[in-house]
Amino acid sequence: MRMTFRWFGEGNDPVPLRYIQQIPGTDGLVWSLHDVPAGEEWPMDKIRHYERLAEEAGLHIDVVESVNIHEDIKLGLPTRDVYIENYKRTIRKLGSVGVKVICYNFMPVFDWLRTELHRPMPDGSTAMFYEKSVIEGLNPRALAATINANPAFSMPGWEPERLRQMELLIEAYRNVTEEDLWANLAHFLEEIVPVAAENGIRMAIHPDDPPWGVFGLPRIMTSQANFRRLLKLYDHPSNGITLCSGSLGANPDNDIVAMIHEFAGRIPFAHIRNVKRYDNGDFIECSHRTEDGSVDIAGIVKAYHDTGFDGYARPDHGRQIWDEQGRPGYGLYDRALGIMHLWGLWDAYRYSNNAQGVKADGQTAAHS
Ligand code: CS2
Ligand code: MN
């Protein structure tokens, strides 16, 4: 397991790079060009800038999250060709600086959805919260109208230009079925995966968050059966999965341990975090320990360990604790704690495979 930390870039992320460097066992940045609109080719000078920043902090840039997919590709419009060509050019450039994994998602219109960014928890921390009835009662067309009437409106994780187009986009998807989305994803993979493979890159699709349809829009990256189908759409190691335990864990039917065993070798990137589910379908992004939520984090780390996982991982989201004023879900403290918990589990499984906690190099774990 190679631990990484997501960073949103200068002026966009209050966590200094040297703090990331100080988290034990963490050697890579998960990065993106957040100011480049989906569909555009990434400029080489901006890529090089990140390469330099990371290098100065002693961190690698092997994992990009995300190179976002233009809606015309998801919609299967004829105009998709130009965006697919841009995507290929970006892949070649990223390959040239040593990028190994590109995370992306195939969710129509909306990326991750929450109803509260700072929901207070009993211990005084705050976390991102999803209230099912609020989403079900919300009319996305009314929301789009509110956004358009208020130019300053922003939503975390949303590029401004995508936000402004929400109304049009929802309309464009009116007749797009799940099967249409599968066909459009298949076309994208047929075009992109060979280019990724030639450039030493593995594509890794992120599950839909939450893993169910919202606002009548189709969502397909939601379940074990659907990930099985995805892998068969283009059967090659460069067509892989970002297995996000928090996104998939919002649905109690998802057995993530079983997915890790079934999809071993096709998971270049693991997002490992917990969620606490409530009976009414609400969920909150609690701390990482199994006991704190509904997802079996200890079992998940064991499954990665037992299947010889050698890919990249990150703690994904965390709570806001100790009065940190960070990006919702992306503060330093709770994600750093999460990393130490994940390493604690991993090391315990690793050492327990050897007699009396002896490390492979012969030193006793407790004394080295
Ligand atoms: C999610 C997503 O994993 C996460 O942090 O919040 O925003 C994710 O980054 C994208 O869906 C991946 O493309
Ligand atoms: Mn995730």
Which of 103, 317, 333, 334 is labelled catalytic? Answer: 317
Average pLDDT of the chain is 93
Asked, for residue 185, whether it belongs to a domain, the answer is yes
Give the model confidence (pLDDT) of 310-329 as tens digits.
999 999 999 999 999 989 99
- Please work out whether the CB of residue 90 comes within 6 Å of at least one atom of ligand 1: no
In angstroms, rounded to a whole number, what is the distance separating the alpha carbons of residues 149 and 153? 9
For residue 368, the model assigns a pLDDT of 39
Ligand 1 pocket, residue 316 CB under 6 Å: yes
Domain count, the chain: 1
- pLDDT value of residue 156: 58
The region of weakest confidence among 105-114, 250-259, 315-324 is 105-114
* Neighbour count for residue 98 (Cβ, 10 Å): 12
- Residue 366 phi, psi dihedral angles, 5° rounding: -70, -20
Say how far apart CA 261 and CA 309 lie, in whole Å: 10
The residue annotated as part of the active site, out of 104, 234, 304, 330, is 330
Residue 138 falls inside a structural domain: no
Active-site pick, 13, 50, 173, 206 = 206
Q: Is the CB of 173 under 6 A from ligand 1?
A: no
Mean pLDDT computed over 26-55 = 97
10-14, 61-65, 180-184, 286-290: range with lowest mean pLDDT: 10-14
30: domain CATH number is 3.20.20.150
Average pLDDT on 107-113 reads: 90
Residue 245 confidence (pLDDT) above 80? yes
Residue among 106, 240, 110 at smallest CA distance from 178: 106
Kindly report whether the peptide bond that precedes residue 66 is cis, defined as omega within 30 degrees of 0.
yes
User: Whole domain around residue 108: which residue ranges?
Assistant: 2-132+177-355
For the Cβ of 72 lying below 6 angstroms from any atom of ligand 1, the answer is no
Ligand 1 in reach of 104 Cβ (< 6 A): yes
The pLDDT assigned to 222 comes to 98
Residue 314 CA to ligand 1 centre (angstroms): 12
Q: Does residue 24 register a pLDDT over 80?
A: yes
181 within some domain: yes
Q: How many CB atoms lie within 10 A of CB 78?
A: 7
Determine the average pLDDT of the residues in 272-285. 97
- Going from the Cα of 112 to the center of ligand 1, the distance in angstroms, rounded, reads 7
pLDDT band for position 16 (50/70/90)? very high
Q: Is residue 42 over pLDDT 90? A: yes
* Per-residue pLDDT, 157: 59
- Say how many Å lie between the CA of residue 287 and the centre of ligand 2: 14
Q: Which of 72, 244, 247 is nearest to 162 (CA)?
A: 72
Q: Which residue has the higher pLDDT, 227 or 160?
A: 227
Residue 50 among the catalytic residues: no
Q: Is residue 326 part of a domain?
A: yes
- Residue 96 in any domain: the answer is yes
Residue 168 domain-assigned? no
Centre of ligand 2 from the C-alpha of residue 299, in Å: 18
Q: Please, which pLDDT band fits residue 360 given cuts at 50, 70 and 90?
A: low
pLDDT of residue 357: 57
Please report whether residue 30 resides in a domain: yes
| Contact yes or no for 130/330 (Cβ under 8 A) | no
Strand, helix or coil for residue 147 = helix
Testing ligand 1's pocket by substitution, the residue of 66, 114, 273 carrying the most ligand atoms inside 8 A of its CB is 66
Mean pLDDT of 181-204: 98
Note the pLDDT of residue 215.
86
pLDDT above 60 (res 355): no
Residue 228 lies in a domain: yes
Count of residues in the chain:
368
Instruction: Please answer whether residues 270 and 285 qualify as being in contact, where contact means their C-beta atoms are separated by less than 8 angstroms.
Output: no
Task: State the pLDDT confidence band at 367, using cuts at 50, 70 and 90.
Answer: very low
User: Ligand 1: which residue has its CA nearest to atom 2?
Assistant: 112
Active site residue 60: no
Active site residue 279: no
Cβ count within 10 A of residue 43: 13
Position with higher pLDDT, 120 vs 136: 120
Residue of the nearest CA to atom 7 in ligand 1? 112
> End-to-end distance of the chain based on CA atoms, in angstroms?
20
Out of 62, 72, 173, 244, pick the active-site residue: 244
Ligand 2 centre from 247 Cα, in Å?
Answer: 6
- Is 244 among the residues known to form the active site? yes
CA of 103 to the centre of ligand 2 (A): 10
Catalytic residue of the set 288, 316, 334, 341: 316
**pLDDT at residue 146, as a whole number:** 76
The pLDDT value recorded for residue 163 is: 72
